[in-house]
Amino acid sequence: MLRFLSRLRNLSFLLKEKNNDKNSNFKAQQLTADLNKNIKLFRQVLGDSSDVIIRQFKLARGGTSAALIFLDGLVDKKQINDHILRPLMVHSQTSFFGTLKKLKDSFIFIDDISELKDFGKIVSAVLEGKAVLLVDGSASALVIDVKGWEQRAIEEPDTEGGVRGPREGFTENIRTNIALLRRIIRDPALTFYHLRLGNKTKKDISIAYIKGVVRDSLIAEVKFRLNKIETDAVLESGYIEQLIDDNPFSPFPTIANSEKPDKVAAKLLEGRAAILVDGTPFVLTVPMLFIESFQHPEDYYVHPYFGTFMRWVRYISFALSILSPAYFVALSSFDHELIPTPLLISMAAAREGTPFPAVLEALLMIIVFEILREASIRMPRSFRAGGKYRRRPGDRTGGCICRSNRACYGDRYLPYCCRHFYCASSDRCRYNFALCSAFWSRSVRPVWCDHHTA
């Protein structure tokens, strides 16, 4: 039985290698002047997929055979029928003389047309959503851009809402995102450098920058890091963010991301570069300082004094959110002399009957909050939409834990100290501070005090 399974595994491996070789060698193929051979070649490469459409027809008057190849769902069929098939099948009055130039210049009413001979590039164009026109007697093809598929409308992003400012947000279409930036920055110096990443996905990537504002060395470095990426798939901008990060093990982000076109435009005007990825509304901006994590798009539209005040509020809130568990552990367990007597009595009464030490209580409440946060994100939207239990689930759960004497009532508010979405990775330093506080107060501080008192 084991020998049979081993042979079956080897056979499947050989078949997989054969298919990979077949798919990887299609770029070496060449088109011929025979239309039937070219159609057969496309069928071999694209397989028997149901969304591959090969529309064969004849040119008007001349009777020359032709074929239009495209993928259903990635093209605009109205453009194909009105601007390609109808002119070629009805309105063309001359016969075909072995060149595609006359068809390209006189009968196809599409602006983006290119003539290609490289079979690999032609297949890639079909997979991108373009249509390919083959004509009998020609060893080249016309690649016609008729992309058209359903996409999400421009909406206000949920992650960066505000009171003042534009309500527009990036979408999953890179063309739409480029147009949004063009609408804001109407300067010919705004440049987009295009490339593709992913051996399988071939994801469209654009680097946006303003010439004369950004440093040339920064653009050269970004291009170098992106071109150095070797991977099969790039599904979201997070892939690129991790692959080009300076220090991937640091809890502090070094690459910013945003869904707001006005915020990205402001970064470009400050001399930064933006990386747009097709299929995601999150646009990366480089370089980034940690202090930028506390900036909000609305800061660009308010008075400097008020904006500065709100940023200081965010700084203090972030410090409280990561340091309050450590202070709670240190004050409630070891440094009682620093607490006023009335507050100390109140804390002692609250902790009466609690079986766990303070550090374990603080970590327990933080972990419970993380679990509730993850559950609220992954929960189906229909469950989150209604019901009274959708309000303050962490507070309700914390109250249940405190009533069961597993933690005191003061612990349940520690995780809620102004948690910020843009600092989601770095604010988990609260675990380290809480553990260091317990270690210092229990192990290092007594030794240090005994040494100095002696």
Share of the chain above pLDDT 70, in %: 71
- The backbone torsions φ and ψ at residue 147, rounded to the nearest 5 degrees and listed phi first, read -60, 140
Q: Report strand pairing: 113-116 vs 283-286.
A: unpaired
One DSSP character per residue, 310-323 reads: HHHHHHHHHHHHHH
Question: pLDDT for 204-245, tens place per residue?
Answer: 999 999 999 999 999 999 999 999 998 888 998 888 988 898
Would you call the peptide bond into 166 cis, given omega within 30 degrees of 0 as the criterion? no
Average pLDDT over residues 45-70: 85
Residue 257: strand pairing partners: 284
The 3 state secondary structure assigned to 118-151 is EHHHHHHHHHHCCEEEEECCCCCEEEECCECCCC
Whether 420 contacts 427, CB under 8 Å? yes
Q: What is the reported pLDDT for 163?
A: 78
pLDDT at 222: 93
443 burial via Cβ count (<10 Å: 0-12, 13-18, 19+): exposed
* H helices present in 334-404, as ranges: 341-351, 358-378, 381-385, 393-403
Is residue 431's pLDDT more than 60?
yes
Least confident window among 26-35, 62-71, 93-102, 395-404: 395-404
As a whole number, the mean pLDDT across the chain is: 77
Most confident of 22-26, 44-48, 101-105, 274-278: 274-278
- Contacts of residue 248, defined as CB under 8 A and 6 or more positions apart, other chains included, come to 242
The whole-angstrom separation of Cα 332 and Cα 358 is: 7
Q: Where are the domains of the chain?
A: 23-144, 174-300, 304-453
Dump pLDDT digits (tens) for 416-429.
Answer: 444 445 455 556 66
The tally of CA atoms less than 13 A away on the side-chain side of residue 95 is 5
Query: Which residue pairs from 23-29 have beta carbons closer than 8 angstroms and sit at least 24 positions apart in sequence?
Result: 26/119, 26/120, 26/123, 27/118, 27/119, 27/120, 27/123, 28/120, 29/119, 29/120
Given pLDDT bands bounded at 50, 70 and 90, which one contains residue 409?
A: very low
CB atoms within 10 A of CB 416: 15
Q: What is the pLDDT of residues 337-346, one digit of tens each?
A: 667 777 667 7
Q: What tokens does 103 get?
A: 């068809």
- Predicted local confidence at residue 383, as pLDDT: 57
Q: How far apart are CA 358 and CA 347, in angstroms?
A: 11
**Tokens 């060149």 -> residue:** 99
Give the least confident one: 31-45, 291-305, 362-376: 362-376
Q: Check residue 120 and give its pLDDT.
A: 86
* Helix residue spans in 185-260 (DSSP H): 216-227, 237-243
Nearest Cα to Cα of residue 295 among 418, 423, 167, 430: 423
Least-confidence region, from 121-130, 177-186, 357-366, 439-448: 439-448
The residues near 84 (Cβ < 8 Å, ≥ 6 apart) are 68, 108, 109, 110, 131, 133, 144, 146
Average pLDDT over residues 164-180: 89
CA dihedral 86, 88, 89, 92 (to 10 degrees): 110
User: Would you call 67 helix, strand, or coil by DSSP?
Assistant: strand
Nearest residue to 406 via CA among 368, 363, 354, 369: 354
Q: What is the pLDDT of residues 310-331, one digit of tens each?
A: 888 888 877 777 777 777 777 7
Radius of gyration of the chain (CA): 31
Mean pLDDT, residues 373-401 taken together:
57
Angle at 227 (CA atoms; ends 225, 230), nearest 5 degrees: 100
Q: Which of 208-212, 334-338, 403-407 has the weakest average pLDDT?
A: 403-407
Predicted confidence at residue 189, as pLDDT, reads: 93
For residue 414, what pLDDT is reported?
46
pLDDT band at 405 (very low <50, low <70, confident <90, very high): very low
Percentage with pLDDT > 90 across the chain: 20
- Using alpha carbons, select from 367, 378, 450, 379 the residue that is nearest to residue 412: 367
The H-assigned helical ranges of 244-356 are: 261-269, 304-333, 341-351
Among residues 299, 317, 328, 288, which one has the least CA distance to residue 410?
328
Helix (H, G, I), strand (E, B) or coil at 194: strand
